[in-house]
Every structure is written in C-alpha cells, then in structure tokens.
Amino acid sequence: MSSSATNILVTGANGGLGLGICLRLIDSFLESRHATESLNIIYTTRSARKGSDTLKTLQAHLRKHYSLSQHKRITFQPENVELTDLLSIRELVRKVNLSDLTKLDAIICNAGIGGWIGLDWFAAIPAILADIRNATVWPFYKLGTIGAVTKPQLPDGSLTQPEPPLGEIFCANLFGHYMLVHWLMPLLRACESNTPGTIIWVSSVEPQNYHFKSDDLQGLQTDAPYEHGKRLTDLLALTSNQPATEKATASFTSTEGMKLQRHVRSVPTQYVYQPGIVVTSVISLYWIIQQAYLLGIYLARWAGSPWSTVKPYTAAHGAVWLALATEDEIRKAEIDAHAGELTNATAVAKRGRVKWGTAINRAGTTTVRPTEVDHWGLTGSGAAFASHWWGGKSGLGRKPGAVDAKPEDVKGFVALGAQAWEDMEQLRKDWERRIEESEQP
C-alpha cells in the first residue's frame, strides 16, 4: 500500500448506509482529488459472503462510471467483524495492524442495529396523519427491546469472577466501535500533524436529553436503547475537545502499552454526524409496510423536512464530507455554524463541536448542515437559536417543542459528557483486563 494513499475504514458496509458511504467515497474522491492521489477503502461486514457481495457492487460502480485509469486509484480491502464480539474486533485490529497500512486517515463508525420490536400503530397512525413531516423525523411510536445482551464474550471458566452482561445494542452501535477505534489508535495517530486522523461517530437526528440515563450506561433498563446509545454518542463526540474531558480522551487516544506501534505524529479529531431519515434494513418491516414507510418519508420531504434523505447514497453526504475535508475546511464550516458569534478558528477551537447532518431540499439536492442538539444547541455556545437556513425558531429542521439551550444547559451537557467519558474508559479498561485474564495459561 502506497504511503501516500488515503485509507478510510467504514464499518457495516454490507448494505444500507455503509454501502452508500463507500459508493459516495469513490465518487467524491475521484471528483475532488488530484489524479496522482489514491484511496483505499477498508470496509467491514459480518461475513465473507457479504463482503464479497459488497466488493462486486463497488467494482461494478467503478466500471460503470469511471475509466480504467481512474479504477487504479481506488482499492478495496474487505474485512469481517462482529461488533458485538470483542474478540472478533480484536482479531480484526490485529490483522489491520499487521498489514502494510502505514496510517489510517479516517474511520466511519457506521454499523449498528435498531433493536426495535415493532411500532405502536395506535400512536403512529394519528401522528402521521396529523403531521407527517415531524412524525417521520422524530417517531416517538417505535417499540424497543429491553435488556438485550450479547452472547458471552469470553470462554467459560476463563475468569475468576462471573462475566458481567454487555448490552447488545450498546455494543453493536457504540462500545464495539469504541474498542475498535482505541485499538486502532496507533494507525490513527500515525497521520501527519497537519492532516490528523478523523473519527466519525454516526448518530441520529432523534435522540433527546431524556433518552439518556447516566446510571444506565448500556441502556439495559430503557425501552429506547437505540436512542439512548445515540444520545451517548452525541455526548462523547461533542465534548471530546472540552477541558473537562481532557484526561479521559487522552486515555482513549493513548497508544501506551500497545504491542504494534507506529510513529506517533498527531491526535485524531472526533466528529459526530447524523444521516437524516434513511430507509434501510435497520428497521425490519413487512414489504407493504416498508413501501408505505418509504412513501411517508418522501411525503415528509415534499412537506419541507430537510432531514428526509431516504436513500443511503444521499444520506452519506455528511460522513463523506467529514472524511475527505481538510481540518481547515471543517473549521471554517464550524465558524459559519456559529453564525457570527465567533470570528476565528482559535475561538471555535475553544467552543463546542457541531453535530453535522445531511440535509436535503425538495429537489433532492443535499448539503451538510448543523443539527440542533437538546441542551447543546448548534454549537454549545449557549446562544439563542438564530434564524438559520431552516427558517428560525419555528423552522422545518427543528424538533417541535425544542427550546434554546441556555448556558446552564450546556454546562450540564459538558458535565454529563465528562462523566460519560470516564465511565466509557473504565468500561474499556475493565474488558481489556478480563480479556487479558482469560488468556492467562
């Protein structure tokens, strides 16, 4: 692998958003980068068969749209991993670390499961009929499973103490990625200081403050474990550059004690993105219901919803932009998001991150826009929600009933984020200790 190649890892690429991200990475890279530059897409699926299917789709896309000379600029590296299995994650990391990769420019933490068991039709139907735009973007009528846990992570009898439960949805959507990213830190930190690695956490437009309970980190006691995990994702990513989280994030990005080292040149930057409302297999519905759901999201877009992206390729815009944009380009967008509150990059660096989202208009044209986050606002500034592109306080991109994040709300958000970082780091270390113990003769 050429040391100048851009290496991007995408999880969950057997279909849906992950496949859409891979396809859009190809197009955006070939359209925007110099002809001498190359891209290596490392994508993960749950099985070799699914990986092969994805490879055929990506290769067919290249053959259909690009010349042979352009084909040579794109390479694919299929890998298998089960993100609810920590030993599977570790095996992938060992393989990648032992490969000829010299660095990892970005990792897009996309894979996940919904964990829903159905819909409350008595709530869904009247809500959709009354306000299809908002009822499809913020669907409060989903029924989530409670207390789902993974299979045992370690062999029977390998620990002196019983293995604690690990939340299945929590592990698939967040903790599995958290371990993967930490264990790949030598490659992420091998990027040059002027082009640091990028960690892109995939969230959702839905989570609110009430979805997350700090005393239930893994979401085992809630009937909304998906939304709980996405709120936790927002807390971690948006506070990743705050002084209150510095100790925990330094621990997370540390490569100390890792066997396979690279030369440490930089610290990766963390971002969070939401793809809007996409029709994928993450929600399992009967065919006729799936078609009605698809039509409903299109109708919501025509009614003015900027988050009704529908198609995975369309929804991938935000993730691909974050993966390929320079730090200066993202920083400029952050300054713009502050809507005149800040005047330079240094000021932005001291303030809050932005939750980026793929927005779309009625004609199907996409842009990357800030997403309002409950108790954080657009930028964590504590400033009032101004008249932005979606039309101000009663605008189409804002959840009905949303209120401005006050300075005390932001302070509480940061404190909760700092606690979440400490809890996640402790959980990571606990599982690393168990894995090490299980391998003792």
User: Could you list the active site residues?
Assistant: 203, 226, 230
In the chain, the amino acid numbered 306 is P
Question: Quick check: helix, strand or coil at residue 81?
Answer: coil
- The structure tokens 């997350």 sit at 212
Q: For the packed helices 317-324 and 16-32, what is the interaxial angle rounded to 10 degrees? A: 50
Question: Quick check: helix, strand or coil at residue 396?
Answer: coil
SS3 of 163-190: the string is CCCCEHHHHHHHHHHHHHHHHCHHHHCC
Asked whether 199 and 109 are in contact (CB, 8 A), the reply is yes
- The structure tokens 């759901």 sit at 293
Contacts of 122 (CB under 8 A, 6+ apart): none
In the chain, the amino acid numbered 163 is E
Cβ atoms within 10 Å, residue 275: 26
Q: How far is CA 226 from CA 117, 203, 205, 247, 427, in A?
A: 12, 10, 12, 28, 19
Tell which residue, 320, 213, 343, 218, has the closest CA to residue 271.
320
Asked whether 255 and 97 are in contact (CB, 8 A), the reply is no
Tell which residue, 73, 67, 58, has the closest CA to residue 15.
58
